Chains A and B, each alone.
Chain A
Amino acid sequence: MAETVKLFVNGQEVEVESGKNLIDAFKVIGVEIPHFCYHPALGADGNCRMCLVGIEDGRPPLVPACKTPVAEGLKVQLDTEKIKKIQHDVMELELINHPTDCPVCDQAGECTLQDYYMTYDHQASRMRVPQVLKGKKMDFGCGVIHDQERCVLCARCVRFTRLITKTGELGIVNRSDEARVTTFPGRKLDNRYALNVVDLCPVGAMTSKDFRFKQRAWFLSRSSGICHGCAKGCNIFIDHNREKGGDDRIYRFRARHNGLVNGYFICDAGRLSYHQENEGRLGTTRLAGKDCTIDEAVETARRKIENARKPLFLISPNCTLEQMIAIKGLATARKGRVSGYSDSYIMEGDGDDFLIRDDKSANRAGFAALGIDTTLEAFRLALNEADLLVNFNNDLLRSEASGTFTEKLSALTVIAVSSHDNTLTRKATVAFSVSSYSEYGGTIINQDQILQRFTAAVVKNDPVPNMIEVVRLLGGPVTDDVTITKAMQDAIPVLAGIEATAFPTAGLNLKEKETDHVTA
């Protein structure tokens, strides 16, 4: 912990980190100061007045907590009658024109206004005049739906487009009860991070068109995960639910804070990439295009691998380190070649300087850490010599550039171990259905050499095996956790010094430890 200061909260002495404002500093020690407009990523705006706190013997005696840095000996009052009255009055003001349409509002259940009403207000409305009516269900573009009546004018969304994306599509027009958030005429939201305003909005004013009416917030289980959309490895919440009579299904991704990787935000493409976890999956294990049991498939695949003179094992750059180690073990045992060639995952020029990366795979850095070749030359050479291709979830033909392989591939026997249905699984002699990244756990390294761990979030009714399990069935020697951990520690020595339970939640920056890091 950085430097600390001692101050008083409601007469009680506490020690908090210095250099923060009161809201952030107190949050760490479990003291909540209510606020609408303040957000750590957007800074203090001080417009909502909900975070006003009293300072004993202070000049002025009332300060907004978001704009007040912690100071030695500060006597902060949070529970005086005056502060409670202010919180109550601010809540009453916010609710004057609030439509209270919680039954149809997607935010209900995770709404700051609802929570604060129960904690700080809890009074019936005194308003006897008709409410001001504003625009509802306005399409702001980029899949954002805005409801002006629900808005508390905290300006988080406005500040997001100005400070973070620097596009400034949103603004607040008019004053007093006519004030409203809107876009400029004919210029809707147009940036690749726009859906973050849905997360940012403390109330239900900004909702996602994609998630609209799909689920109520309280039905969803929130599991932590890592987005596999690009090489950034943004941290996400995987919100999923098993409906009555249905299967465990993902309904949305939300940004999860990780200061080391993505901060508070994720891109829209990553946010909507949950669709790929639900759809287009290779549901069943197939033998020559027909559904079969896993035993039949294993028998055929084993025979083919054993009979092959030069098998080529192609690994997806989305595989975890554990999976890569297991596959490498199998390849070594079968005297085959391993390739991580996956140029088809790279979309040149698509990335930006914020979160989106050119490389649309999650663990390419893992190839380097484990010494797996990824070059086109080596792959082409291996492919020409090979008589069997065992493809581990590598979507080789996902982009046009890979079309040159189709001729060679058509002459080759292919065994596909895949989570999704693609061209290669359709032409494969044997296709194993395996779990995807929301259903297994593992370790990945992102483009900035941050090593992150994630655990399984979704548990299907009929779970398909993890890729490591299929590798074991195919005769891979390295498949149990202990051996894999050992191999991983050999490849990344810094891991050896870290207990599994003490692994940092934000991930491990491998660059910082470069001095004692020796690549295998």
Chain B
Amino acid sequence: MTVKIKTLERQGSTFIEKLYLVEVFRGMRTTFGHFWRILLDNSKSYVRHYPEVKPEITPRWRGRHRLTTHEDGTMKCVACFMCQTNCPSHCISIEAGERVDGKSEKMPIRFEIDLLECIYCGYCVEACPMDAIRMDTGIYSVISSERSSVVKGMDELLATPGAFSEEDYKKRGL
């Protein structure tokens, strides 16, 4: 196997470039060019006006988690601990108990995701045999002034709706 070598020409060795001052003003021309252009007409800006304008989220995008439910409103999760086992950052903690809604035998009585520890890798979604955990809420901004409110409990995870239709979610091609 031969190694390809590409020689790059070294810049900045001429006398004018070595003076620096000329180059500084050339740089400032670009900066102030943008500054005046955007100041005179804001719509010519190249960047998104966040947070007034939100980015478009695709179904493949991994946002905050939610727990899904069956059509009759019962939780799909059976507390098999696959997500917790698979989680590389150990942000999920589950406590299992006897199921009370007659669906199966087992359900979580405590299901917590620490969003500060989560690295949003999506392994929990991949590991879930019941399609009970998804990251399709489209929520990408998690802000809080206290740590405890960033640990999302079962009720909150169940209450968060998905941002996409079932068809769009299925089409995400994973």
Contacts and interface: CB of A to CB of B under 8 A. Distances in A.
Interface of A: 101-104, 108, 136-137, 212-214, 216, 218-219, 243-245
Contact of A213 (B82, B106, B129): B106
B106 A104 contact: yes
B22 to A, nearest CB: 59
Contacts of A136: 105
Contacts of B90: 244
B96 A103 contact: no
B6 to A, nearest CB: 48
Contacts of A137: 105
Nearest to A213: B96
Contact of B79 (A102, A213, A219, A243): A213
Contacts of B61: none
A243 B93 contact: yes
B82 A103 contact: yes
Contacts of B85: 216, 218-219
13 contacts: A101-B104, A103-B106, A103-B130, A108-B80, A212-B98, A213-B97, A213-B106, A216-B81, A216-B85, A218-B85, A219-B81, A244-B93, A245-B93
Contact of B104 (A102, A104, A212, A243): A104
A204 B98 CA distance: 16
B78 interface: yes
B9 to A, nearest CB: 55
B67 to A, nearest CB: 15
Interface in B96-112: 96-98, 104-106
Contacts of A212: 98
Contacts of B80: 102-104, 108, 216
Nearest to B80: A103
Interface in B58-105: 78-82, 85, 90, 93, 96-98, 104-105
Given A104-B79, A245-B93, 13 more contacts: A101-B104, A101-B105, A102-B80, A103-B78, A103-B80, A103-B129, A104-B78, A104-B106, A108-B80, A137-B105, A214-B96, A216-B85, A243-B93
Closest 7 CB pairs of A and B: A103-B80, A104-B106, A213-B96, A216-B81, A104-B105, A104-B78, A103-B78
B91 to A, nearest CB: 9
B148 to A, nearest CB: 13
Contacts of A219: 81, 85
Contacts of A214: 96
Interface of B is mostly: loop
A151 to B, nearest CB: 16
Contacts of B78: 103-104
B169 to A, nearest CB: 21
Contacts of B129: 103
B98 A213 contact: yes
Contacts of A244: 90, 93
A102 to B, nearest CB: 8
A212 B93 CA distance: 18
B88 to A, nearest CB: 13
A216 B92 CA distance: 14
A131 to B, nearest CB: 15
Nearest to A108: B80
Nearest to B92: A244
A104 B85 CA distance: 14
A99 to B, nearest CB: 10
Interface in B153-167: none
Nearest to B117: A244
A68 B93 CA distance: 49
Residue from the set A104, A219, A243 with the largest chain B CB neighbour count within 10 Å: A104
Contacts of B96: 213-214
A446 to B, nearest CB: 37
A67 to B, nearest CB: 37
Nearest to A216: B81
B121 to A, nearest CB: 17
A204 to B, nearest CB: 11
B102 to A, nearest CB: 12
A137 B78 CA distance: 16
Contacts of B97: 213
A243 B95 CA distance: 10
A213 B96 CA distance: 6
B143 to A, nearest CB: 24
Contacts of B82: 103
A212 B96 CA distance: 9
Contacts of A218: 85
A213 B77 CA distance: 14
A218 B80 CA distance: 12
A103 B130 CA distance: 9
Nearest to B82: A103
Contacts of B81: 216, 219
